[in-house]
Amino acid sequence: MSKLIEPKHRQHTRTVEDRCELANRLSQVADLSLVFLTFDEVALLAGINTRMVESLCQSGVTPTPIRLGHRTVRFNAAEVIEWLRSK
């Protein structure tokens, strides 16, 4: 499973170009229900930091993440896009 974006170590280094690049890559995918996003990618799309995504996830505001392994958790891209549109 490849990541759609390269991880950055600090949220404040993310730019509008990073967000546009991820949105463009997602727009090229035929079936978003087959794409899984990391916490970093969800944060980038939502324009918030990863800690806020974790907090919103724990409070049940975000779509339910999918556990793929012991430490691997991802979000369904179609659900995230729908959630962001409904905000």
Structural domains of the chain, with CATH: 11-86 (1.10.1660)
According to DSSP H, which parts of the chain are helical? 16-27, 39-46, 50-58, 77-86
pLDDT digits (tens, 9 = 90+) for 48-86: 999 999 999 999 999 999 999 999 999 999 999 999 999
Calculate the dihedral angle through the C-alpha atoms of 44, 48, 50, 53, rounding to the nearest 10 degrees.
-110
Name the pTM for this structure. Answer: 0.80
Please choose, from the candidates 2, 12, 79, the residue with its C-alpha nearest in 3D space to the C-alpha of residue 51. Answer: 12
- Long-range contacts of 25-28, Cβ-Cβ distance < 8 Å, separation of 24 or more: 26/77, 26/81
